[in-house]
Chains A and B, each alone.
Chain A
Amino acid sequence: MIAAIAIALTVNGEPVTAEVKPRLNLADFLRDDLGLTGTHVGCEHGVCGACTVRLDGAIVRACLTLAVQADGSAVETIEGLSDSGEIADLQNAFRDRNALQCGYCTPGMLITAQDLLRQKPQPDRAEIREHLAGNYCRCTGYHAIIDAVESTARARTERAT
């Protein structure tokens, strides 16, 4: 029997302690152990982007990260980014433009889009497409998502000036 390992981390700002088996990945830990099911599982080999979360501020694939690797780190999920209001304008743009249909890719898309806007406040459409090129959506065909990210970027720039 493989021993569980004690980990301590923060998730959406809340301190969390747990005993986890080494093979438990971060996506399953968030979903099954913490009940934060907004992080979705789509492929478990790091290709679809549905499981994207922020780890110490950087976007990562939760399915390619072990829970034990997150020990001592700060994890942010879509629930946390929503409750803090950090992506409220992006979510409004997604709603108005219908940049989501089934919603399964949406948490990963929002987190990745926000990651882009934090690094590059005024991306052009090609840059938006490139940054989101690792997030699979089957419903929208991407056009509406690009529109929503573009309009959010524009609005943020206008607010800043």
Chain B
Amino acid sequence: MKAAAFSYARATSIADALQLLARHGDDAKVLSGGQSLMPALNLRLARPAILVDIGRLSELRGVTVASDKVTIGALTRHVDLLGSREIAEMLPLLREATAQVAHPAIRNRGTIGGNLAHADPASELPACMLALDATLVIRGLDRERRVAATDFFQGIYATALAADELLTGIEIPLPAPGTRHFFHEYARRSGDYALVGLAAMARADNGRLSDLRLGYFAVGDRPQLARAAARLVGVDVTPELVAEAKAELATELDPATDQQATAAMRRHLAGLLLENCLATVLDRPELARGQSS
């Protein structure tokens, strides 16, 4: 399985990268960590004429914390996120999710930007972006724009990025104090893509949720922020209400049937994740079932 031939250009600056992308358009693929691109190249599923390697653009790497947001450079590697004290303190959801990405050797090279731009519907990080209400910072030759995560993921391997654009950073609003999170995925083996997963952020006051963002992944052609969450906010979360929310969830999700699971099974597992999430964020273990991954 040897990749088809391609040319290679190592970008020396962001501007240089953008010029290369502008020139080559759909004939080019951006190489960041390469952990998603390389398998596709080796299997000859991707056949770009040229790879634009942005791996040396150190200005795209790193975590910065401002008063109201955390900014993560697109080239920040998963291993760097795992080692970041700021991420651990401020965005524990992201840390937990990143720890589930594949295996150590992959995490040492893969980047958050590469992962998000690749937009595998079964990937953990896109769903985290929904739950965290993130904004993706995108640059073209003569422009910079910001796209809400909820608008960024548009289908299987499809995002709002144009062929001549680069994802340069991710801006995540600092969660309010007391925000809780929940992350779990059901996968056959450690490091596998999830059968279904949930990345959630919640705020609770006096046993009621004041905010709930449910970022599901592996539930369709893109990560999905469940509208069913609205049912659970500002009210007493009774078992009956949970059942109703699960029923709504089952109708709004349109998961695929594939070798790993049927659509019905994915809906079922999504419902379990909802229960487990509520049990965690409300400190009510009796709401939980199905603990194994």
Contacts and interface: CB of A to CB of B under 8 A. Distances in A.
Direct contact of A and B (CB under 8 A): yes
Interface of A: 2-3, 5, 21-23, 25, 28, 44-46, 49, 52, 55, 58-61, 63-66, 68-69, 112, 115, 130-131, 133-134
B173 interface: no
Contacts of B6: 2, 22-23
B292 interface: no
A62 to B, nearest CB: 9
Interface in B9-59: 10, 31, 34-35, 38-39, 41-43, 51, 53, 55
B42 A59 contact: no
B8 A5 contact: yes
A83 to B, nearest CB: 22
A23 B38 contact: no
Contact of B42 (A2, A63, A69, A112): A63
Interface string B82-115: 0000000000000000000011111011000000
B3 A23 contact: yes
A65 B104 contact: no
A66 B104 contact: no
Contacts of A25: 3, 38, 42
Contacts of A23: 2-6, 41
Contact of A60 (B2, B31, B39, B108): B108
Nearest to A59: B105
A149 to B, nearest CB: 14
B104 A68 contact: no
Given A22-B8, A23-B2, A69-B55, A49 B103 contact: yes
B191 A52 contact: no
B189 interface: yes
B79 A66 contact: no
Give chain A's interface secondary structure class. mixed
Complex A-B, nearest 6 residue pairs according to Cβ-Cβ distance, in ascending order: A134-B103, A22-B8, A45-B39, A64-B38, A133-B190, A58-B108
Interface residues of B, number: 31
B66 interface: no
Interface of B: 1-8, 10, 31, 34-35, 38-39, 41-43, 51, 53, 55, 79, 102-106, 108-109, 189-191
Nearest to A52: B105
A68 B109 contact: no
B8 A65 contact: no
A64 B43 contact: no
B162 to A, nearest CB: 24
Contacts of B43: 45
B126 to A, nearest CB: 20
B42 A44 contact: yes
A22 B39 contact: no
A66 B4 CA distance: 13
8 contacts: A22-B51, A23-B5, A45-B38, A52-B105, A63-B38, A63-B42, A69-B34, A133-B190
B5 A46 contact: no
Give the most central of A21, A25, A64, A65: most B CB within 10 Å: A64
Give the most central of B43, B51, B102, B108: most A CB within 10 Å: B108
Contacts of A69: 31, 34, 53, 55
A59 B51 contact: no
B108 A59 contact: yes
A112 B108 CA distance: 12
Contacts of B79: 58
A89 B104 CA distance: 23
A46 B34 CA distance: 11
Contacts of A112: 104-105
Contacts of B108: 55, 58-60
Give the most central of A22, A68, A130: most B CB within 10 Å: A22
A5 B39 CA distance: 22
B34 A66 contact: yes
